[in-house]
């Protein structure tokens, strides 16, 4: 039986009380915090920098940094590793040097994740084995989007490619309605942003998603 993990994305959190919001989900059982980093080029929005990781690193949670940036191997990998990231995820579409970038991440003591956008074929996972495979189930860049239903079949195919040892993470449109479907298809880690921090009670929302995911497992 797979261990199912929920990684709350702070992109949807209230940054005025960020530590308090993170503490709420930690108290509810969260052990991973997902940090979405955008450069305004790979995706249109700009988001947070390494200072956010530095502000949270003393809380004892695993910081998972999702780099939605062009050429992450040039400076961002080193910068976010130094800021406290435990996992760094890059996009297959963002660099021609995917293998080099993943090894660079590992050289800084972090787990190396590889993400693909909804329209990107899964064939790269036949050539390169990351520690974590992230299947985007919305187009990257904005929180609160609807889950792309055809992604379920893609998750199933991804699990068949990477086997049982690689963490499959799903990011986009995850809530209590879609969590169980993702896990049944082969996902073991689910990112949820607005479905947690956009709710009146983030801790309860976290547990609702976790319960929905584990019922199917």
DSSP helix/strand/coil, 173: coil
> What's the CA gap between 59 and 68, in Å, rounded?
24
Q: Which residue has the tokens 């660099």?
A: 95
208 is catalytic: no
> What's the CA gap between 209 and 84, in Å, rounded?
27
> What's the CA gap between 104 and 171, in Å, rounded?
23
> What's the CA gap between 111 and 81, in Å, rounded?
10
In 24-166, at which residue ranges do the beta strands (DSSP E only) sit?
32-38, 62-68, 87-91, 111-116, 132-136
> What's the CA gap between 18 and 172, in Å, rounded?
21
User: Which one, of 128, 140, 99, 134, lies nearest residue 114 by Cα?
Assistant: 134
> What's the CA gap between 181 and 214, in Å, rounded?
11
> What's the CA gap between 86 and 143, in Å, rounded?
23
171 is catalytic: yes
Name the catalytic one among 39, 131, 171, 208: 171
Q: How many CB atoms lie within 10 A of CB 57?
A: 14
DSSP helix/strand/coil, 206: helix
Catalytic residues: 36, 171
């Amino acid at each position: 039986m797979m261990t199912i993990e929920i990684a709350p994305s702070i992109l949807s959190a209230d940054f005025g009380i960020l530590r308090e919001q993170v503490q709420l989900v930690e108290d509810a059982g969260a052990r991973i915090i997902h940090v979405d980093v955008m450069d305004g080029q790979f995706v249109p929005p700009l988001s947070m920098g390494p200072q956010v990781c530095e502000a949270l690193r003393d809380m004892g949670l695993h910081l998972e940094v999702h780099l939605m940036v062009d050429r992450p191997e040039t400076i961002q990998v080193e910068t976010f590793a130094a800021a406290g990231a435990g996992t760094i995820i890059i996009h297959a579409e963002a660099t021609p040097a995917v293998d080099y970038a993943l090894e660079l991440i590992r050289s800084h003591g972090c787990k190396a994740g590889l993400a693909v956008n909804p329209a990107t074929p899964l064939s790269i996972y036949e050539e390169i084995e990351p520690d974590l495979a992230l299947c985007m189930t919305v187009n990257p860049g904005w929180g609160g989007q609807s889950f792309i239903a055809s992604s379920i079949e893609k998750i199933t195919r991804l699990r068949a490619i990477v086997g049982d040892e690689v963490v499959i993470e799903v990011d986009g449109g995850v809530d209590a309605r879609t969590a169980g479907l993702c896990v049944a298809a082969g996902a073991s880690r689910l990112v949820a942003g607005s479905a947690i921090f956009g709710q009146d009670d983030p801790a309860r929302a976290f547990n609702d998603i976790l319960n929905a995911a584990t019922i199917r497992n």
